[in-house]
Amino acid sequence: MGEESWHEARLIPTSGISGPTEQERRATSALLAVMAAVKEFGRVLTKPYGAPAGTIATFTEVPFKHGDGRLYPDGLIRVERGKKAWTALVEVKTGKNTLDAQQLESYLDIARAEEFDAVISISNEIPPMAGQHPTKIDKRRLRKVALHHLSWANVLAEAVMQREFRGVADPDQAWILGELIRYLEHPRSGAMEFDDMGGHWVGVRDAVKSGTLRAGDAGVKELAARFDALLRFVSLELGRNLGTEVTPALTRKELADPVVRTQKLVTSLVDDGMLTGSIRIPDTVGNLAVTADLRAGTVTAHIDVDAPKEGRPRTRVNWLARQLKAAPGDLRIEAHAAHSRGAGAAELLRDVRENPDALVPENKQELRWFRVAMSVPMGAKRGRGRGSFIDSVRDCVDVFYADVMQNLKAWSAAPPKVRPVLDDIEEGVPEQFVSTALSSQDDPVTS
């Protein structure tokens, strides 16, 4: 038998996982062990929750007395620095298993009694907004103990960014973190990607197409929340590939009150048949906007780019076209002039390359900004795979960023030039037309 058929030994093997219980136990143990072993990774996961920068110790299935019996949280994390200690209980779910409110509330009671700082849940559930928890909990239990949530997609993204981009000082620790990444990326680990738009997807989608959807219909708010969860997942995935923090772009009101964002999506879905959102990527010229038009059956990604503040309209169009020299010709380019209302002139990129004047207003108005957009057919299926809505959004975002956004740079004015002196002027220019001093507007003096 050749070596090509041999299985390489792994620190965290996926073989031997007999069921959901074993899957959760192994995922919990692997994650917590690596958090303690790789200090940079442990720090990046605990810092947002108030843990000090100290020594991390982790434990699994720690017994606690609760009522007349005992409970065994999946894990416990303790971070110590000097006399200061931060402790959190951990509850883990894998696969399609969801968090249980009663179980979490029991752990919150234990944490309060033990004077611990937090309870952290980990599952494949992705809440619509960062900081939200996917499970409704009695808020009275949160007065002294914080409740935090991590999705497995979030854990994997942080692991990849730490190893590949931020760096791990110790080579052995870097290898250990790589083993965790390989484990979480394996289908048998139970760390799944976002893979379902929910049971109401088909009903809402068909109601939008027929024009019969109402704001109070079953599943409308759930679908709005799942779309935001999808944008969060796409952001995590893109950030993992780019090595930077990519997040959904939300207004202050939406961050302060998630109901505002949900209502905005519901209104857009009912009135226009559209689900919209934006993604913020560091150091790009603008936010990447995503629009899923359920009536037209398209997914569109676009970005708005400020036009140069100097030059003729044709020059400004050429400035944009040069940056898109490697982009596909079927991109839609819109040019918006100053003081204009409504949609601006729009052409495909291939036509703009041949005739930049196609985007120039007839009255030669100053061009203020451009919109660059790419549309793809929208998948109809609720799950994952070919023809699915989720994959059509993911692919649209990935391709648009790679082909368009990463190549765009904001315009900046050229630095001022030094005024030429007389010796630098070409011969043959009459002296009275030459100025070499700040008093250039004075009458020329001839000898």
pLDDT tens sequence across 256-283: 888 899 999 999 999 999 999 999 999 9
User: Over the stretch 362-400, which tens digit does the pLDDT of each residue have?
Assistant: 877 889 999 999 999 999 999 988 999 999 999 999 999
Q: CB neighbours (10 Å) of residue 423?
A: 6
Extract the tokens encoding 301. 């990604």
Instruction: Please name which of 39, 70, 314 lies closest in space to residue 176, comparing C-alpha atoms.
Output: 39
State residue 258's pLDDT score: 85
Domain end marker among 185, 209, 226: 185
Q: Give the residue with greater pLDDT, 68 vs 75.
A: 75
| 145 part of a folded domain | yes
State residue 339's pLDDT score: 76
| 312 part of a folded domain | yes
State residue 446's pLDDT score: 47
Is the domain of 167 the same as that of 140? yes
| 416 part of a folded domain | no
Domain end marker among 152, 185, 218: 185
Is the domain of 358 the same as that of 279? yes
- Kindly state the percentage of the chain with pLDDT values over 70: 92
State residue 17's pLDDT score: 82
Say if residue 435's pLDDT is above 60.
Answer: no
pTM for the complete prediction?
A: 0.84
Say if residue 134's pLDDT is above 70.
Answer: yes
Size of the chain, expressed as the number of residues it contains: 447
State residue 19's pLDDT score: 85
Is the domain of 112 the same as that of 234? no
Is the domain of 154 the same as that of 218? no
Say if residue 247's pLDDT is above 70.
Answer: yes
Under a CB-based contact definition with an 8 Å cutoff, are residues 371 and 385 in contact?
no
Say if residue 105's pLDDT is above 80.
Answer: yes
Extract the tokens encoding 224. 């709005």
Say if residue 407's pLDDT is above 50.
Answer: yes
Say if residue 322's pLDDT is above 70.
Answer: yes
Task: Share the mean pLDDT of the chain.
Answer: 90
State residue 128's pLDDT score: 85
| 190 part of a folded domain | no
Residue 343 sits in a domain of what CATH number?
A: 3.30.930
Residue 155 sits in a domain of what CATH number?
A: 3.40.1350
Lowest-confidence pick of 50-64, 100-114, 411-425: 411-425
Is the domain of 164 the same as that of 221? no
Domain, as residue range, for 165: 7-185
- Kindly state the percentage of the chain with pLDDT values over 90: 76
| 78 part of a folded domain | yes
Instruction: Please name which of 298, 272, 291, 300 lies closest in space to residue 211, comparing C-alpha atoms.
Output: 272
Under a CB-based contact definition with an 8 Å cutoff, are residues 57 and 78 in contact?
yes
| 418 part of a folded domain | no
Is the domain of 170 the same as that of 220? no
Q: Total domain count for the chain?
A: 2
State residue 256's pLDDT score: 85
Is the domain of 18 the same as that of 127? yes
Is the domain of 33 the same as that of 67? yes
Instruction: State the DSSP string of 51-110.
Output: --SSEEEEEES--EEETTEEE--SEEEEEEETTEEEEEEEEE--TT----HHHHHHHHHH
User: Over the stretch 4-20, which tens digit does the pLDDT of each residue have?
Assistant: 667 678 888 888 788 88
Contacts with 253 (C-beta within 8 Å, 6 or more apart), sequence order: 260
Is the domain of 239 the same as that of 365? yes
Under a CB-based contact definition with an 8 Å cutoff, are residues 165 and 157 in contact?
no
As a whole number of angstroms, the distance between CA 270 and CA 212 comes to: 9
Is the domain of 204 the same as that of 177? no
* Mean pLDDT of the region 82-94: 96
Is the domain of 394 the same as that of 248? yes
User: Over the stretch 146-200, which tens digit does the pLDDT of each residue have?
Assistant: 999 999 999 999 999 999 999 999 999 999 999 999 999 998 999 988 999 999 9
State residue 53's pLDDT score: 95
Q: Give the residue with greater pLDDT, 266 vs 342.
A: 266
Is the domain of 283 the same as that of 397? yes
| 329 part of a folded domain | yes
User: Over the stretch 190-239, which tens digit does the pLDDT of each residue have?
Assistant: 998 899 999 999 999 999 999 999 999 989 999 999 999 999 999 999 99
| 439 part of a folded domain | no
As a whole number of angstroms, the distance between CA 26 and CA 31 comes to: 8
Domain end marker among 121, 153, 185: 185
State residue 18's pLDDT score: 80
